[in-house]
Amino acid sequence: MNPQFLQTPIEYLKGVGPNRADLLKKELGIHTFQDLINLFPNRYIDRTRYYKIKHIQQSNAEIQVVGVIKSFREVAQKRGKRLVATFQDDSGTMELVWFRGQKWIKDSLKLNTPYVVFGKTNWFNGKFSIPHPDIETTEEHKKGLSSGIQPIYPSTEKLSNKGISNRVIGKIVQNLFLETKGNFTETLSPDLVSELQLLSKKEALLNIHFPKSQKLLSKAQMRLKFEELFFIQLQLILKNLIHKSKIKGHTFDKVGTYFNTFFQEHLPFNLTNAQKRVLKEIRSDLGSNAQMNRLLQGDVGSGKTIVGFMSMLMALDNGFQACLMAPTEILSVQHYNGLLKWCKTLNINIKMLTGSTKTSTRKEIHESLENGDLQILIGTHALLEDKVKFKNLGLAIIDEQHRFGVAQRKKLWDKGGPPRSSRREEAIAVRKKYMTARPSTYKLLKELQIENKKHATEAERVLWECLRNKKLGLKFRRQHIIDEFIVDFLCIEKQLIIEVDGGYHKTTEQKEADELRSQILNEIGFKVIRFTNEQVIGDIDNVLGYIQKTLNSLPSGEVGGAYFPPHILVMTATPIPRTLAMSVYGDLDISIIDELPPGRQAIKTVHRYDKNRLNVFRFIRDEIKKGRQVYVVYPLIQESEKMDYKDLMDGYESISRDFPMPDYQISIVHGKMKPADKDYEMQRFAKGETQIMVATTVIEVGVNVPNASVMIIESAERFGLSQLHQLRGRVGRGAEQSYCILMTSYKLSNDSKTRLETMVKTNDGFEIAEVDLKLRGPGDVMGTQQSGVLNLRIADIVKDKDVLQLARHYAKKVLKEDPSLSKEENQSILNTYRALSKYKNIWNYIS
């Protein structure tokens, strides 16, 4: 079948029309035949069994009966009337009831005609009835594509109110199958279908909508789930391969003095095997010719920061700068203070830039960054400001990267670009001189562009014929607007401009103007080459050869400009379940630090109820006597009438009574405090001036106090698993035994019980993340769904993780054997991939 047929607007399908089409578009997002065919049922009802009326039980179950309507009657009720039909088979009678649409129903149904009736039974006044049953003649029932297993489609209240019932949707799906004759294009290769014993695309779609048996339904679901996940994995893996081949990176070919000195003389502890493995992976990336794009996962306290710092030292050893961007000022300060002592020892210039950095300090940072004196910059979103320009940024580390948007990460990516000329006045003078020689304005650009295309010279036409057919393997545009110039030919990927000079280019004034034009275009990042009309017409092969040689010498710039972007290392302490990592971050190279540094003890976690509070307070006093410190975390700042949970201020007063001054000092920290006050309280706690910190979740990240050994989480049932695990990670940072106490009331939901049991049972962040994924689903775990990857039509990455792993295995296998998908047997895969990748752009490459 012609694939274009499936792009036909839905209103042209029999049984739809403009009004229904409008509703289907708004309510279910069905715009085309293709959308309808991919509207997979939510569930199925088994209609293979036919009941006798005398065998019906009082179970309110859905049943199917064959019989005839013997009579109709209207029964008055408080509002209007209801229509009641007496329905009979050879074993007894029951009632069919309608509360609306009575006239149409009475006119359309015939007495003493065999009907198949389906619906949910009611027991009322000593009789069984089915309100608003599905009803069709036995002839219709036999003719229809629907079999004994009935699909139930997604729907909305608005669709139901407008008469677009499940039966109506099923009918229009049936019309589509009859119109297409079930002739659907295969999307997988014959080898895959054969090796995995999958149904064909045609059989799978037929049996997903109109299953002939439970066995065929299961096979159809497997085929369509595999296909969906296979193409997601194919896209992600290809994206990674394209990234590595297309986006070049600075080659860090040496491990020098900074790295070796730190490793041999100043490393505070022996690296774990996991840290060594990850450093080896990063070193391999940095030494290749491709831009590194790696995700570093590691539980709280696993030693990600030291790995990040040693990666920075590799950049410095190769003459480049490095930066680390964190989502909060607190976390930036922690990173800066942690790295400062090592940088001083190694004589490395490191600075911190945040929203609260003083103007005078900012100016110094900006200047030392641009001249290259400043080697490492730590900071928050402030790093993304236009004024922040690096001389040669080689490595950018993003901590807790999911808290930054794509556009923000793109800005950091662009910091690796070549610095614009510091001689701004000179650049402006050059531009003015050019405009005097050949004035143009933005107002006229579009008109000029159209005119230029109409009046192309013979030489321009000859060259365009060669370039437009991708004779050189790359896409070119003609008469393209760049800033205030219209250039003859442009290859965006290589940032190469080709100009053809006609007769009027030979005057001294015009030659000077052309030279200035090239100078400006070079200034903003383009390479310009020029040919005369005579050269193009006289020896086109030689011209093409020269262009090809120039193209080969240039880096690809489609996804970052004609320069090398910095290597990217993104770090997260939020463990990502393997299934989610394969789906959302499948295009990134992933490193995992899965062991704690030596000397760390596992945190002991216990669950206690409110009645145990006196014992808990006694335990706190014992720990404080040992010189330890304690966190007490609350979910709310102010009292809520709707929720029976401890709030911060009430808790603070309670703890103050049980731990009075001057014997005890207490800090309080919450999100509504001024940054300076918050920082003051945190510093008091970090210095050991206070023994107890009462806080909200602002301390989830950003505080590193090795002496703190107890984490008490009040109303722990209010927190998600991920948050509980992050909070627990604030303790256990020293050599002493640490504890996490989860305080709750007795009123606990099943999910709350599961979360608390999981926390008590394990300290493994990845195991916790898997449980969290099962409880909340992928959309909630990721926050706002960051990737279209999660908008799945039939697969479920939690329930279908085995299918996901199988799909990724075969996607890798196919690409290993045929990286370009050029083999004949892979044509169906290639065509489907192209259709899916139609709207690819730069954002796809920025993970």
**Segment 291-314, tens digit of pLDDT:** 888 889 887 778 888 999 999 999
Helix, coil or strand: residue 527: strand
Which residue, 57, 115, 63, 127, is CA-closest to 89?
115
Give the pLDDT confidence score for residue 224 in this predicted structure: 94
pLDDT confidence of 246, banded at 50, 70, 90? low
| 33-61 burial: b if 16+ Cβ within 10 Å, else e | bebbbbbbbeeeeebeeebebeebeeeee
Query: Tokens 């991919």 sit at which residue?
Result: 38
Give the pLDDT confidence score for residue 691 in this predicted structure: 93
Do 503 and 625 belong together in one domain?
no
Do 408 and 447 belong together in one domain?
no
Expressed as residue numbers, the domain containing 393 is: 257-287+303-417+564-572
**Segment 4-59, tens digit of pLDDT:** 778 888 998 988 988 898 999 888 888 888 889 889 998 888 777 788 988 888 77
Residue 18 placed within a domain: no
Q: Which of 715, 734, 762 is the last residue in one of the domains? A: 762
Residue 68 has pLDDT above 60, yes or no: yes
Do 265 and 372 belong together in one domain?
yes
Residue 559 has pLDDT above 50, yes or no: no
Q: How far is residue 118 from each of residues 49, 50, 66, 207, 325, measured CA to CA in Å? A: 11, 9, 9, 21, 61
> Which of 190-204, 509-523, 549-563, 755-769 is the most confident on average?
190-204
Q: Tell whether omega for the bond before 211 is within 30 degrees of 0, i.e. cis.
A: no
Residue 432 to residue 508: CA distance in whole angstroms: 18
Residue 702 has pLDDT above 60, yes or no: no
Give the pLDDT confidence score for residue 788 in this predicted structure: 41
Do 315 and 407 belong together in one domain?
yes
Do 568 and 624 belong together in one domain?
no
Note the helical H segments in 601-706.
613-625, 648-658, 675-686
Residue 2 has pLDDT above 70, yes or no: no
Do 537 and 610 belong together in one domain?
no
Q: Which of 146, 171, 203 is the last residue in one of the domains? A: 146
Ranking 181-190, 433-442, 454-463 by mean pLDDT, the lowest is 433-442
Ranking 264-268, 291-295, 701-705 by mean pLDDT, the lowest is 701-705
Report the 10 Å Cβ neighbour count for 323.
26
Q: How many domains does the chain have?
A: 4
724 touches 730 (CB < 8 A): no
Residue 426 placed within a domain: no
Mean pLDDT calculated for residue range 57-86: 86
Do 397 and 467 belong together in one domain?
no
pLDDT confidence of 416, banded at 50, 70, 90? low
Do 344 and 392 belong together in one domain?
yes
Residue 275 has pLDDT above 70, yes or no: yes
Give the pLDDT confidence score for residue 432 in this predicted structure: 55
Give the pLDDT confidence score for residue 619 in this predicted structure: 94
Which residue did the predictor score with more confidence, 90 or 673?
90
User: Can you spell out the DSSP letters for 95-108?
Assistant: EEEESS-HHHHHHH
Residue 4 placed within a domain: no
Residue 424 has pLDDT above 50, yes or no: no
Residue 423 has pLDDT above 70, yes or no: no
pLDDT confidence of 172, banded at 50, 70, 90? very high
Give the pLDDT confidence score for residue 734 in this predicted structure: 76
pLDDT confidence of 585, banded at 50, 70, 90? low
Do 474 and 378 belong together in one domain?
no
In CATH, what number is assigned to the domain containing residue 492? 3.40.960.10
Mean pLDDT calculated for residue range 255-276: 90
Query: Percent of the chain, pLDDT > 70?
Result: 84
Do 465 and 544 belong together in one domain?
yes
492 touches 557 (CB < 8 A): yes
Do 526 and 475 belong together in one domain?
yes
Ranking 255-259, 724-728, 785-789 by mean pLDDT, the lowest is 785-789
Residue 790 has pLDDT above 60, yes or no: no
Give the pLDDT confidence score for residue 560 in this predicted structure: 35
Do 678 and 647 belong together in one domain?
yes
Query: Tokens 């910190």 sit at which residue?
Result: 693
State the DSSP code for 248.
Answer: B
Q: What is the mean pLDDT of the chain?
A: 82
Residue 831 has pLDDT above 80, yes or no: yes
> Which of 329-338, 405-414, 810-819 is the most confident on average?
810-819
> Which residue(s) pair with 135 in the sheet?
117
